């Protein structure tokens, strides 16, 4: 359904028709459509959504639209939405709202208020902050038949998760899936059927680690335990997917020297984009003072042999590329748990061998290229075998340094408990630029003195 259809129906006040259309739409699609309307129409349209979908649509809206609606809601509407929304989703909304809206929300939260405050109190990136408190708990003394009866009595709305937890005195003993309940005989004991092989996390476990467990063990939920190993909530796979996406985006942004944000590009204002991008640009620009200083100090050599200048961009570019290949590989390896800080020597030894291979092949290719293309084809002034040799040797040394630096810095960051992704391309490039210039002038000077 397109915006135009709804505009037409709105202008004709065909509210019943709109209601019917909303009834056939997936809440996610409704939530994608609504932000295209202005404030007044948005509120009107939201009120036409069938009651059983309203909280789902609300959950999937962006914070801006959520705020518009929350401010327009009557107390009764607010209470209804708060009652229908899952606690973890409610917390997500609260975290984005200004204080006055939060106050009203908490006042309307009723008996969920304590639960909401509990989750709000966990650190931002912890398992506790993304868990939900709504799950089905069964007692180990139950038979399958008892469990079925209990679930039936709870009714449909409380059971969105297809896994039940067998719990005694707050201790998690095992899990049992809805399908297990369906296929077992009524008189079997749930303790005989339950899966005791538990994958659990603690409230303070980093949410990225939680997401990796979902990927590793292919599970649909992971129970969250507190310090005393008592179960306090569960994380569901949809939240894990969100975390995986967010963390990858954060790494992408850090690698491109952008301050991380989870706002979609087209919805981010120009001022915000500027604010996210300018700090690193200025920092890296100023740090390039070093490369400038190095060049200035070799001014004599350069003015005598200007042809050397022509190869500076190529040397720095290839150095930067080599370094970022190594750093991105190691950063992602660390992120995915494939590489650990203790593997530092394995990584070093591997990168040394790879970098020598890459360095030598590049040097050979570069030597041939200078002689054939720059010398014979383009007939560039001052190009000769000696220059080609100096450039090729520098290239080889630069590539080796770049790869070793690129691989070690992220691991170093990890050991210092910093985020390895900050040691990505732009940072590495700045260091490698300086290194490659020093190597270049060093090699050039010794060879030119020989000449």
Q: Nearest approach, Cβ of 266 to a copy of itself (angstroms)? A: 6
Q: Nearest approach, Cβ of 328 to a copy of itself (angstroms)? A: 4
Q: Nearest approach, Cβ of 267 to a copy of itself (angstroms)? A: 8
Residues in Cβ contact with 406 at an 8 Å cutoff, skipping those fewer than 6 apart = 322, 323, 324, 325, 326, 327, 330, 351, 428, 432
1, two tokens? 């359904």
Q: Nearest approach, Cβ of 122 to a copy of itself (angstroms)? A: 22
Please give the Cα distance from 321 to 299 (Å, whole number). Answer: 26
Taking the least distance from each CB to a copy of itself, the nearer of 118 and 177 is: 177
**Tell me, what DSSP letter sits at residue 311?**
T
Q: Nearest approach, Cβ of 335 to a copy of itself (angstroms)? A: 9
Taking the least distance from each CB to a copy of itself, the nearer of 107 and 285 is: 285
Taking the least distance from each CB to a copy of itself, the nearer of 169 and 379 is: 379
Q: Nearest approach, Cβ of 51 to a copy of itself (angstroms)? A: 16
| C-alpha R_g of the chain | 30
Taking the least distance from each CB to a copy of itself, the nearer of 229 and 249 is: 249
Residues in Cβ contact with 443 at an 8 Å cutoff, skipping those fewer than 6 apart = 390, 393, 394, 397
Q: Nearest approach, Cβ of 331 to a copy of itself (angstroms)? A: 8
Q: Nearest approach, Cβ of 103 to a copy of itself (angstroms)? A: 29
Taking the least distance from each CB to a copy of itself, the nearer of 71 and 209 is: 209
- The percent of the chain in helix, strand and coil, each rounded to the nearest 5, is 70, 10, 20
Please give the Cα distance from 394 to 165 (Å, whole number). Answer: 63
152, two tokens? 């039936």
Would you tell me how many other CB atoms lie within 10 Å of the CB of residue 51? 8
Taking the least distance from each CB to a copy of itself, the nearer of 101 and 220 is: 220
Q: Nearest approach, Cβ of 26 to a copy of itself (angstroms)? A: 5
Q: Nearest approach, Cβ of 207 to a copy of itself (angstroms)? A: 15
CA distances from 120 to 56, 87, 93, 126, 127 (A): 21, 10, 11, 11, 12
HEC profile of 368-394: HHHHHHHHHHCCCCCCCHHHHHHHHHH
Taking the least distance from each CB to a copy of itself, the nearer of 38 and 381 is: 381
Taking the least distance from each CB to a copy of itself, the nearer of 108 and 213 is: 213
Please give the Cα distance from 69 to 442 (Å, whole number). Answer: 66
Q: Nearest approach, Cβ of 154 to a copy of itself (angstroms)? A: 7
Closest to 88 measured CA to CA, from 202, 263, 204, 238: 238
HEC profile of 412-428: HHHHCCCCHHHHCHHHH
Please give the Cα distance from 388 to 374 (Å, whole number). Answer: 10
Taking the least distance from each CB to a copy of itself, the nearer of 128 and 426 is: 426
Q: Is 266 helix (H, G, I), strand (E, B) or coil?
A: helix
342, two tokens? 């203790």
Taking the least distance from each CB to a copy of itself, the nearer of 233 and 426 is: 426
β-bridge pairing 201-202 and 171-177: unpaired
Taking the least distance from each CB to a copy of itself, the nearer of 123 and 292 is: 292
Element spanning 72, H or E: helix 63-72
Beta bridge mates, 233: 224
Closest to 306 measured CA to CA, from 382, 251, 394, 254: 382
Taking the least distance from each CB to a copy of itself, the nearer of 44 and 50 is: 50
Q: Nearest approach, Cβ of 404 to a copy of itself (angstroms)? A: 14
28, two tokens? 């996610």
């Amino acid at each position: 359904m397109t915006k135009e259809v709804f505009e037409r129906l709105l202008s004709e006040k065909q509210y019943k028709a709109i209601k019917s259309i909303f009834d056939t739409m997936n809440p996610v699609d409704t939530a994608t459509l609504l932000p295209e309307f202005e404030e007044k129409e948005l509120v009107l349209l939201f009120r036409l959504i069938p009651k059983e979908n309203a909280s789902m649509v609300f959950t999937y809206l962006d914070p801006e639209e959520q705020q518009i609606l929350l401010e327009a809601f009557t107390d009764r509407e607010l209470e209804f939405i708060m009652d229908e929304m899952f606690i973890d989703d409610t917390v997500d909304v609260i975290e984005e709202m200004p204080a006055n809206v939060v106050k009203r929300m908490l006042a309307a939260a009723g008996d969920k208020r304590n639960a909401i405050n509990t989750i709000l109190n966990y650190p931002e990136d912890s398992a506790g902050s993304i868990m939900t408190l709504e799950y089905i708990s069964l007692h180990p003394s139950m038979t399958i038949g008892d469990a079925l009866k209990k679930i039936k009595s709870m009714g449909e709305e409380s059971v969105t998760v297809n896994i039940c937890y067998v719990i005694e005195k707050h201790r998690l003993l095992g899990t049992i899936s809805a399908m297990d309940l369906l296929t077992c005989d009524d008189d079997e004991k749930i303790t005989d059927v339950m899966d005791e092989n538990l994958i659990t996390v603690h409230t303070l476990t980093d949410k990225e680690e939680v997401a990796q467990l979902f990927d590793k063990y292919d599970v649909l939920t992971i129970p969250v335990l507190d310090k005393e190993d008592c179960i306090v909530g569960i994380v569901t796979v949809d939240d894990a997917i969100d975390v995986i996406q967010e963390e990858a985006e954060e790494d992408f942004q850090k690698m491109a020297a952008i301050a991380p944000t989870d706002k979609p590009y087209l919805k981010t204002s120009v001022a915000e984009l500027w604010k996210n991008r300018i700090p690193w640009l200025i920092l890296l620009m100023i740090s390039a003072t070093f490369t400038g200083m190095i060049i200035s100090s070799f001014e004599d050599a350069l003015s005598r042999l200007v042809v050397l200048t022509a190869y500076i961009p190529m040397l720095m570019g290839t150095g930067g590329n080599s370094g970022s290949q190594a750093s991105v590989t190691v950063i992602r390896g660390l992120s995915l748990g494939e590489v650990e800080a203790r593997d530092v020597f394995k990584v070093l030894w591997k990168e040394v061998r790879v970098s020598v291979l890459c360095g030598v092949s590049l040097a050979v290719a570069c030597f041939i290229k200078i002689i054939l293309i720059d010398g014979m084809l383009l007939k560039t002034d001052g190009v000769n075998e000696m220059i080609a040799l100096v450039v090729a040797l520098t290239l080889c040394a630069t590539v080796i340094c770049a790869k070793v630096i690129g691989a070690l810095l992220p691991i170093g960051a990890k050991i210092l408990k910093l985020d390895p992704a900050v040691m990505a391309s732009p940072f590495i490039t700045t260091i490698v630029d300086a290194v490659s210039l020093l190597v270049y002038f060093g090699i050039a000077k010794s060879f030119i003195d020989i000449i």
